């Protein structure tokens, strides 16, 4: 029996010794004894943000078309800051407001020429250089809703067509999608819209492809900077205008004009904002930093959508509390606008092969996507207690 006890004791000693050896290895360092190692003060200090090795920091000078007070500037700046954090300081990105480095709306050209390294902008701002297909990526009547657009972009071929839109014009940019909003308000009107004949002779402030459609519907489209809109309606220079989402419109004080606010925003079911980076800058990045850049855009796409929708949710309540009169656009008007829009797209498709390619891709995808959603997705109104 004595021999057996000695053997068991020897095994126990060897086992304890082996744990001690493993515990002192670099992979599993033993905790410091009480009174040794770091002091409580040292333990409470936050670890410094990791910085890039000397010579590896990549500075990115960027600009949006938006002023600092605009929520989409905030979204773009949030993305830039997250890019710096995600890279552990290897990116040093600075987001400038519109006009700080180059004239507002000239950001894409500046990225192509290397004056800017990157921009957070909208493709509809430079359709004169990339064609009307740019409108299919942002703010176009009777188009996709935000989630339809995101799924089409990432899973339906939209991203490849996005890059092709620039490559075919010889523009030295790499394209990503980095921002999103839900539908805009349809607009603010001195008198309620009751039918398509309401647009006859109406002086309506807007621009772009929607402006062309309104002209064809009998309106007189007026183009003016956003800063002039308030006074223009107040003085009767215009009869109506559209601007942006509820949060932006409320912050601009448009509810003070006594106008009727109309929805839904069928002229702009979503607004998507792109990130463009100079291709030479992109190609010089190591693979891991390219991945960080690309995935930061994906994160920003959803985070910016939440940011704007959050502000819009608060603003709608504030508009109701103020006493703003809400007008639901009649169904027949929405149907007529949809018909008008797709007739216009068919015309553009005959003139521009690439526009036709993008338009067909979206249309085919949306049909199947809506079949899936209509069957599988519960109606939120039926789930409201």
Residue 281: give its domain's CATH number. Answer: 3.40.190.170
In this prediction, residue 208 has a pLDDT band, given cuts at 50, 70 and 90, of confident
pLDDT, one tens digit per residue, over 110-129 is 999 999 999 999 998 999 99
Residue listed under structure tokens 């290895």: 25
What pLDDT is stored for residue 19 in this prediction?
Answer: 33
- What one-character-per-residue DSSP string does 297-351 give? HHHHHHHHHHHHHHHHHHHHHHHHHHTPPEEEPPHHHHHHHHHHHHHHHHHHHHH
Yes or no: say if 83 and 116 are a contact pair by the CB < 8 Å rule.
Answer: no
Cis before 264 (ω within 30): yes
Pairing of strands 220-222, 203-205: parallel
What pLDDT is stored for residue 55 in this prediction?
Answer: 55
Helix (H, G, I), strand (E, B) or coil at 169: coil
Domain limit, last residue, from 310, 340, 363: 310
Domain limit, last residue, from 252, 284, 310: 310
Residues 191 and 247 in one domain: yes
Residues 137 and 151 in one domain: yes
On whether residue 226 sits in a domain, the answer given is yes
On whether residue 92 sits in a domain, the answer given is yes
Q: pTM of this prediction?
A: 0.83
Residues 128 and 225 in one domain: no
Rounded to an integer, the average pLDDT of 257-281 is 97
In this prediction, residue 226 has a pLDDT band, given cuts at 50, 70 and 90, of confident
**pLDDT above 90 for 277:** yes
Helix (H, G, I), strand (E, B) or coil at 94: strand
Residues 177 and 274 in one domain: yes
Residues 246 and 349 in one domain: yes
Supply the DSSP symbol for 369.
Answer: H
What pLDDT is stored for residue 10 in this prediction?
Answer: 35
On whether residue 47 sits in a domain, the answer given is no
Helix (H, G, I), strand (E, B) or coil at 296: helix
Residues 141 and 113 in one domain: yes
What pLDDT is stored for residue 2 in this prediction?
Answer: 39
**pLDDT above 80 for 72:** yes
**pLDDT above 50 for 368:** yes
On whether residue 7 sits in a domain, the answer given is no
pLDDT, one tens digit per residue, over 5-31 is 433 333 333 333 333 333 333 333 333
Measuring CA to CA, how many Å separate 252 from each of 243, 246, 300, 311? 10, 10, 25, 13
Residues 259 and 289 in one domain: no
Residues 297 and 337 in one domain: no
Supply the DSSP symbol for 252.
Answer: T
Rounded to an integer, the average pLDDT of 160-177 is 98
Number of independent structural domains in the chain: 2
Sign of CA dihedral 24, 26, 27, 28: positive
Burial degree of 239 (CB within 10 A; 0-12, 13-18, 19+) = buried
**pLDDT above 50 for 206:** yes
On whether residue 357 sits in a domain, the answer given is yes
Domain limit, last residue, from 279, 310, 341: 310
**pLDDT above 70 for 102:** yes
Residues 298 and 361 in one domain: no
**pLDDT above 70 for 210:** yes
What pLDDT is stored for residue 16 in this prediction?
Answer: 34
pLDDT over 70, % of the chain: 86
pLDDT over 90, % of the chain: 79
On whether residue 9 sits in a domain, the answer given is no
Yes or no: say if 218 and 198 are a contact pair by the CB < 8 Å rule.
Answer: no
Residues 234 and 331 in one domain: yes
CATH number at residue 194: 3.40.190.10
Domain range enclosing 90: 58-181+270-310
How remote is the C-alpha of 97 from its chain's centroid? 16
What pLDDT is stored for residue 177 in this prediction?
Answer: 98
- Comparing C-alpha atoms, which of 77, 52, 57 is closest to residue 284? 57
What pLDDT is stored for residue 138 in this prediction?
Answer: 92
pLDDT, one tens digit per residue, over 33-61 is 333 334 444 444 554 444 445 458 999 99
On whether residue 280 sits in a domain, the answer given is yes
**Which residues lie closer than 8 Å to 210 by C-beta, 6 or more apart?**
139, 140, 141, 242, 267, 268
Rounded to an integer, the average pLDDT of 74-92 is 97
What pLDDT is stored for residue 309 in this prediction?
Answer: 97
On whether residue 2 sits in a domain, the answer given is no
Rounded to an integer, the average pLDDT of 205-223 is 92
Q: 266 or 27: which carries more pLDDT confidence? A: 266
Residues 125 and 173 in one domain: yes
What pLDDT is stored for residue 207 in this prediction?
Answer: 84
Residues 132 and 275 in one domain: yes
What pLDDT is stored for residue 271 in this prediction?
Answer: 94
Among the listed ranges 19-33, 63-77, 204-218, 343-357, which one has the minimum average pLDDT value?
Answer: 19-33
What pLDDT is stored for residue 231 in this prediction?
Answer: 95
What pLDDT is stored for residue 227 in this prediction?
Answer: 82
């Amino acid at each position: 029996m004595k021999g057996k006890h000695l053997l068991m004791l020897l095994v126990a000693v060897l086992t304890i010794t082996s744990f001690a050896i493993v515990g002192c290895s670099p992979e599993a360092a033993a905790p410091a004894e009480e009174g040794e190692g770091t002091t409580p003060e040292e333990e409470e200090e936050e670890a410094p943000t990791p910085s890039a090795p000397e010579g590896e920091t990549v500075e990115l000078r960027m600009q949006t078309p938006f002023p600092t007070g605009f929520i989409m500037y905030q979204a773009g700046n949030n993305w830039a800051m997250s890019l710096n954090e995600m890279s552990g300081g290897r990116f040093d990105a600075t987001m400038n407001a519109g006009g700080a480095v180059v004239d507002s709306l000239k950001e894409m050209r500046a990225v192509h020429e290397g004056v800017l390294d990157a921009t957070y902008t909208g493709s509809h701002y430079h359709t004169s250089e990339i064609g009307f297909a740019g409108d299919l990526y942002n703010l176009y009547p009777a188009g996709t809703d935000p989630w339809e657009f995101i799924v089409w972009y990432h899973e339906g071929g939209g991203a490849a067509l996005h890059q092709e839109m620039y490559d075919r014009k010889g523009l030295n940019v790499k394209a990503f999608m980095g921002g999103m909003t839900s539908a805009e308000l349809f607009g603010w009107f001195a008198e309620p819209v009751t039918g398509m004949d309401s647009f006859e002779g109406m002086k309506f402030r807007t621009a772009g492809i929607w402006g062309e459609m309104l002209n064809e519907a009998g309106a007189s489209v007026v183009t003016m900077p956003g800063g002039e809109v308030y006074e223009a309606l107040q003085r009767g220079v215009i009869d109506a205008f559209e601007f942006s989402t509820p949060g932006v419109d409320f912050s601009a004080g448009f509810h003070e004009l006594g106008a009727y606010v109309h929805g839904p925003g069928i002229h702009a079911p979503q607004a998507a904002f792109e990130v463009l980076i100079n291709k030479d800058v992109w190609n010089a990045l190591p693979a891991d930093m390219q991945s960080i850049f690309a995935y930061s855009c994906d994160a920003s796409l959803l985070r910016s959508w939440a940011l704007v929708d959050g502000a819009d949710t608060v603003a709608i309540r504030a508009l109701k509390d103020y006493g703003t009169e809400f007008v639901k656009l009649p169904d027949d008007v929405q149907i007529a606008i949809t018909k008008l829009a797709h007739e216009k797209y068919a015309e553009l498709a005959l003139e521009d092969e690439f526009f036709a390619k993008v338009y067909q891709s979206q249309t085919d995808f949306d049909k199947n996507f809506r079949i899936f959603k209509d069957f599988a997705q519960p109606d939120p109104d039926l789930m409201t207690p």
